[in-house]
Amino acid sequence: MRFGCVLLAVMILTATDLRAESVKPVVNWSGTVKELAKQKALPEHGLVVDQKGFVDLWKAWRPNEEAPQVDFSTHFVVVRTAEGRFTFIAELQVDENGAALLLTARGSTVYVEGFGYGLAVFPRDKVKTFAGRPIKRD
């Protein structure tokens, strides 16, 4: 009986994954920051939903560059960090209800001083929730 329940759970999870759509970022950036203390700029839940928040994050991690403009009425930004290694955001897996099921982040095995980060812009029309939370509009 226990085996049957486990098998059924695996089948349901597999079927859910098969219905997921891969959503690629419109644009993404990645880099490294040597000062670990600057990792505190990581936004709550790894999401940026307005230009002010994006500019603040950009200034913290890329202080010598002007922050790009993002149309937050139609897009949002996902942010991920990895201490001691380079990382970037490849895609979101989104189900038929617009729930982001899985963030695919790739990282290298090469050690970097500080932390690596990935920033990726995704369309709001395809993604309604991320990590179980509605994506706010500010």
Q: What's the token pair of residue 116?
A: 């690596």
The gap from C-alpha 108 to its chain's centroid, in whole angstroms, comes to 17
pLDDT tens column, 101-128: 767 777 778 889 999 999 999 999 989 9
Judge residue 121's burial from the number of C-beta atoms within 10 Å of its C-beta, 0-12 exposed, 13-18 middle, 19 or more buried: buried
Check if the beta carbon of residue 28 is closer than 8 Å to that of residue 120: yes
The pLDDT value recorded for residue 47 is 94
Note whether 87 and 81 are within 8 A (CB): yes
